[in-house]
Amino acid sequence: MTKITNRGFGRRMAAKLLLHGCCAHCTAYSFKYWQEQGFEVSVYWYNPNIHPFTEHQNRLEAMVKLSQELSFELVTEPLYQMAEYFKKVAEKPDERCRTCFDMRLGQTAVYAARYGYEYFSSSLFISPHQKHQEAVFSAEAFAKETGVKFAYADLRKRYSDSRHITKPLDLYRQQYCGCIYSEYERFGKTDPPA
């Protein structure tokens, strides 16, 4: 894995990077970071892991507001593929985080390949709450599979910077990662059912 920057290409047009956005708060600094590296950044919203549907819509609305504030192109998937998410997670509930990363980062890489992006990344890499290395392994696998380069930067130390960007915008702030398992872990009193 290499840290990829796009500086030093002279007058060459900026390389296109598709940034998977997990939520507005993590996306804010991640977007600015990749833009500062010289990339032309679009943000991709594909998060079938977020439940219930009203939570998904609240987070999507926050992302739309952020896209307007920071002036970035936001690409959204028209379908909320909740059933597909549950089908895949039910096969191996103990590996739900890796399955979730595979679904979201895989779809991001496929979209990037289809629409001519040279690179992809995710705002997941700024969150100290994610299983970071699992997400990296997932992204690397889909980079090999699709031929789209994985732009990696460990931005976890900048997590508070992202929150400072979004706090004045008064965006919806979620209280758990996204899936019903994580909601249960956050608010439940016992371990979630397997």
- Ligand-binding annotation for 97, yes or no, is yes
Task: Say how many CA atoms lie within 13 Å of 92 toward its Cβ.
Answer: 7
- Ligand-binding annotation for 22, yes or no, is yes
Q: Quick count: other Cβ atoms within 10 Å of Cβ 68?
A: 11
Dmax (CA) for the chain in angstroms is 57
Q: Quick count: other Cβ atoms within 10 Å of Cβ 108?
A: 26
Q: What burial class does residue 53 get, using C-beta atoms within 10 Å of its C-beta: 0-12 exposed, 13-18 middle, 19+ buried?
A: exposed
Binding site listing: 22-23, 97, 100
Binding site listing for [4Fe-4S] cluster: 22-23, 97, 100
